[in-house]
Amino acid sequence: MAGMSDRSTTVDLLQGTLATLILKSLSWGPLHGYGIARWIEQVTEDELLVEEGSLYPALHRLQARELVSSQWTTSDTNRRVRLYTLTERGRQQLRAELSRWDRFSVAVTRALQARRPSKAV
Amino acid sequence: MSTSGRPERGIWRDTGADADDEIACHLEMHERDLIARGLPPDAARAEARRRFGSVESITRQVRSIDDQAARQQRRTGMWTDFRQDAAYALRGLRRAPGFTAVAVLTLALGIGANTAIFSVLNIALLRPLPYADGDRLVFVWNQHQGNTDNLGPGRMLDLRRQTTSFSGFAGISHLSYTLTGWGDPERIAASSVSSSFFDVLGARPLLGEPFHAGAADPAAAVLSHALWKRRFGGDRAIVGRTIVLNGRPRVVVAVMRPDFFWPSITARAGASPGPELWVPAGAGDIPRNAVDEDRDMTASRNAGYLRAVARLKPGVTPAQANAELAAVGARISSEHPEDGGRTAKLRTIREQFFGPVERPLFVLAGVVTLVLAIACANVAGLLLGRGAARRRDLALRRALGATRGRLARQLLTEATVLSFAGAAAGLVLAWWASAALAAAAPADFIGDQPLPLDARVLVFALGTSIVCGLAFGAVPALQLSRDALSGALSEGSARASGTRRAGRARDVLVAAEIALAVVLLVGSVLFVRSFLHLTRVDVGLDTRNLLTFDVTLTGDRAEYQARQVQFYEALQARLTRVPGVRAVGAAVTLPIGGDDFGTSYLPEGVPAPAAGSEPRAGYQVVTPGYFAAMGIPLKAGRDVRATDTRQAEPVVVINEQLARAAWPGQDPVGRRLRFSSDTEWARVVGVVGDIRHLGPSTEPRPEVYQPGSQRSFPFMAFVVRTETDPMAIAPSIRRAVAELDPALPLGGLRTMDQHLQRSLSKPRFLSTLVTGFGALAVALALIGIYAMMAWSVSERRQEFAIRLALGARGTAVMALVLRQALVLAAIGIAVGLVAARAAAAVIGGMLYGIQPTDPSAFMLTAAAVAAVALAACYVPARRALRVDPVGLLR
């Protein structure tokens, strides 16, 4: 872990993005909340600012929408942990979100990289 | 990490503890990681908490999300159960089409009748009035010797000035106008009202702007929506145009909205369809004389022709305002002895409009509720019988793990499905029935408004059906689910005990149905006999072959006043010559359904009583020949004559009641009396028979008749006695009038029989409805008793077979069945008679010529119901005989 890095350059999460990140984090297999938090931290190299606690309301909302399911299990250290699994509906939702995100980011990138304003009408 | 564990979908228990656990686990793991990376334990804990955020707030959020999801899931679960049960119930009902048809039809009749009556109640008692804050409007009346009286202009002015409870006060007097131009001349019912009238009501117009307090053009006129449609074809350009009323131009300033109504109100009765035209009255915000609109009566204190409507100030209750009115009214009377000790009182607008129909409506509502109760008892019995046949099925489901609650819920769902089907069919019936009701209801019942099946009525029907479903579903649901609980799949003791319990419930239902039918039948008999009494009452005149109509003379006042007497004489003479006419007369007010004028009088030679407590009599102005034409017998002296002119001595004819009241035991002819408002004495020249001026249900009262040649009115009602069907010569009558004056419209052309029928329309309406519902109740009870007895017999077939095999005589078995029925009938009838006795007290005031406790009505009903109950049992009893003992026992 990078420790207490300078966070002035981190960006806030867009609305709804956290939910998509959670779905993505579960796409390789079940994880508990703490695991999800670590995964987000690692893959974004601390670029995204997540208050870890806010994961849980998001997770439970996803569960209410039946995009994820959860089970209590016992960890290697004999601790009860709650594991979240992507449901079939969650997988479909993730696919839809990814394709939406692709279109969105391509469009924004295109706009931001435009050289000169197009001719005024 | 093992992935085995309990699944978290399904019903989530104790979500709070789960959330706490999960978050604690997160913090712990993070802390451990941080320590592993070299942080001291304290710093690790602090950092983990900092990165997490507010534990309490997040725990709260998570819990609320979980709770909401759990609730949602429970709802979905119940809905799914309900859908399954409903689908199951529907399949079951489809398999038993006969049962379903009878049950749905029975419920449809009950719910339909209730919904139709509710739609009348809805209009009369519940619907908001078409005035701003209409519940703050009140009518103000004089209170005089226990009677409610119209106000005189001077007195109303004083009441308005000296009270503080009201924010607005308006006087109304009713008159009629002849509208000319725009097609045939027509009499239009109209009101002359204070300029503040529309402001007090807070009524908004459709077009234009009605006149306002203190700012009324005396030549303004406001049209009702109906008049605007009828006479002016709904022409939106009508505002600002001139119409001609009684020969004078008036400017239309506004057209009211279609829902605006303002019924004619009399002190005595309720509301009837109102005027179609409003004109502003004279100065001082007080209407001019209703009879003679050009005469300013402001100075008159007690010429009682005004209705007054007032608006309560915010925060003032009707009771407070009423107390103030009584006090102020009495104070004014003490300052003005000529007010005769009058006080004042108010009635809320709902009391005034709907008070007289409230009781009949609640009686009808009670009647249809009883009908519905019988329908429910019937369906409960049907379900019970059906359930008995399904006992094995239920026991099986119970054995397969269904809880008792689950079975009961399924049975209730079945009942609910049934009652929704009944409600749907009932709404169709109600839609049809309320149209029929609106057409048949007397005008003063609900006015001339349509009966909309609005949202309130629909909610009522829906609510009724749910309540019914629960009511008739509860008995079998409890009963059968308990039977199923005993869990016997085999035919054995459980079956027998279940049968016994079902039999008891069935007996209670039969007795209850009989009791309800008795209550309704007693009511029907009372209403019918009361109505028959009314139709047989001798009103004191011969109503057959009598045509009536009224004429109102208009035009320049000075000219027509001089002409009035001659005109009536000329018209009477001309009418007498029409072929088929036997006799003709005219009076200022017709008996039965016409107006009612009263006067106070003093017989000569009697010490004058205190002002205000003079004896009162009905007041009429008649032409010579009126008594003969009406068939009112002359008992002594002579009729009025054409020679009783203004120049001759004033004379009157009195009826026997007045003769008895004024000069008991003496010959009244030749004596004199005077009207309290006059100083001149009038000589009694004749005595005529008593008539029931106000209709069959009102006793004759003292009446005094003045000759039209001595006191003329601009309007008169003519009566024409004909040889044959009076309506057949109506065209010749019209022609005769037109020959004399082509611009004179005939009003209210109808026969005296029609007047009589109209005056009986309310009791007829009531007795028809109550009798109809009574018959329906008996029919339903008959069906119910038959079905339940048939079921009872079929269950005892084995027993009967044994009895017959052991040598019992057929008649003995039949007697057994009938005796059981008779016991139930006796209990039901006894309970019913007691209940009917209590119910009859409620309708006592609505009956004529019969006591609500009339023993013959009760005995007749008891006998009829007993006969019906036995008849319903006869067929099942006969069937009991036809069992084949050998076949059954084998």
pLDDT, position A3: 40
Q: What is the mean pLDDT of residues B564-575?
A: 89
Give which of B255, B239, B246, B140 is closest to B198, Cα–Cα. Answer: B255
- Asked if the C-beta of A40 comes within 8 angstroms of chain B's C-beta atoms, the answer is no
Helix, strand, or coil here: B753?
helix
The answer to whether the CB of B18 falls within 8 A of the CB of B24 is: no
- Answering whether pTM is above 0.90, one says no
pLDDT (mean) for B728-735 = 89
pLDDT higher at B446 or B380: B380
CA count, 13 A, side-chain hemisphere, A38:
14
Residues in chain B, overall count: 890
B286 pLDDT higher than 80: no
Contact B28 A1 (CB under 8 A): no
Position B265 pLDDT exceeds 80: no
Nearest CA in chain B to A50: B51
Q: Who among A57, A63, A72 is closest to B58 (CB)?
A: A57
Residue A7, chain B, CB below 8 Å: the answer is no
| Concatenated DSSP letters of B215-243 | B--TTEEEE-HHHHHHHHTT-GGGTT-EE
Backbone angles phi, psi at B706, to 5 degrees: -110, 145
Nearest to A34 among B1, B6, B30 (CB): B30
CB within 8 A of B191, min separation 6: which ones? Answer: B172, B173, B174, B175, B262, B274, B275, B277, B278, B279
A57, closest residue in chain B (CA to CA): B62
In this model, does residue B65 exceed pLDDT 70? yes
Q: What is the pLDDT of residues B736-779, one digit of tens each?
A: 888 888 777 787 788 998 888 888 887 888 888 888 888 888 88
Q: β-pairing, B703-707 with B616-622?
A: parallel
Give the percent of chain B with pLDDT over 90.
21
Indicate the helix (H) or strand (E) that contains B549.
strand B546-552
Q: Is the pLDDT of residue B684 over 60?
A: yes
Which residues of chain A make contact with B29, given a CB cutoff of 8 A?
A: 34
Q: A72, B51: Cβ pair inside 8 Å? A: no
Query: Percentage of chain B surpassing pLDDT 70?
Result: 88
CB contact under 8 A, B54 and A69: no
Here the ipTM equals 0.84
User: Per this entry, what is the length of chain A?
Assistant: 121
Cβ of residue A90 closer than 8 Å to a chain B Cβ: no
Measured between CB atoms, does A94 come within 8 Å of chain B?
Answer: no
Cβ atoms of residues B365 and B118 within 8 Å:
yes
**DSSP string for residues in B673-700:** EEETT-SS-EEEEEEE----TT-TTS--
- C-alpha distances (whole Å) from B166 to each of B200, B212, B483, B663 are 10, 17, 67, 47
Residue of B nearest to A76 (CA): B1
User: b/e per residue, B386-419, with b = 16+ CB within 10 A?
Assistant: bbbebbeebbeebeeebeeeebbbbbbbbbbbbb
Q: Which of B25, B57, B72 has the CB atom closest to A79's CB atom?
A: B25
CB contact under 8 A, A82 and B22: yes
pLDDT at B214 over 80: no
pLDDT of B255 over the 90 cut: yes
pLDDT digits (tens, 9 = 90+) for B471-516: 888 877 777 766 655 544 444 444 555 566 667 888 888 889 899 9
Q: Point out the residue among B1, B22, B68 whose CB comes nearest to the CB of A33.
A: B22
A56 shares contact with chain B (CB less than 8 Å): yes
Average pLDDT of span B217-229? 89
Provide the pLDDT for residue B7: 40
Q: Provide mean pLDDT across the span B682-702.
A: 90
Q: What confidence category does residue B562 fall into, taking pLDDT thresholds of 50, 70 and 90?
A: low
Q: Which pLDDT does position B341 carry in this prediction? A: 79
Q: What's the confidence (pLDDT) of residue A119?
A: 61
Confidence (pLDDT) at B11: 39
Mean pLDDT of B688-712: 89
Among B488-502, B623-637, B666-680, the least confident range: B488-502
**What does the pLDDT read at residue B686?**
94
* A contacts of B51 (beta carbons < 8 Å): 51-52
A1, A31, A34: best to mutate for the B interface, most B CBs within 10 A: A34
Q: Tell me: pLDDT of B305 over 70.
A: yes
Q: What is the DSSP string of B827-839?
A: HHHHHHHHHHHHH
Q: What is the mean pLDDT of residues B295-317?
A: 81
Average of per-residue pLDDT values in chain B? 83
Residue A2 pLDDT: 39
Instruction: List residues of chain B with CB under 8 Å from any CB of chain A.
Output: 1-9, 18-19, 21-23, 25-26, 28-30, 33, 37, 51-55, 57-58, 61-62, 65-66, 68-69, 72
Query: What pLDDT tens digit does each residue of chain A (121 aa) get?
Result: 334 444 434 455 666 788 899 999 999 999 999 999 888 888 877 776 677 888 899 999 999 989 999 988 887 777 788 999 999 999 999 999 999 989 988 999 999 988 876 665 5
**pLDDT tens digits, B389-430:** 777 777 777 777 777 777 788 888 888 888 899 999 999 988
Residue B612: pLDDT band by 50, 70, 90 thresholds? low
Question: What local confidence, expressed as pLDDT, does residue B290 receive?
Answer: 56
Nearest to B713 by CA among B598, B643, B650, B621: B621
Chain B residue closest in CA terms to A67? B9
Q: Residue B397 corresponds to which tokens in the numbers above? A: 């489901």
Q: What is the pLDDT of residue B575?
A: 93
Q: Which residues pair with B547 in a beta bridge?
A: B720, B751
Select from A56, A66, A81 the Cβ nearest to the Cβ of B62. A56
A81 touches chain B (CB under 8 A): yes
| A42 in contact with chain B, both atoms CB, cutoff 8 A | no
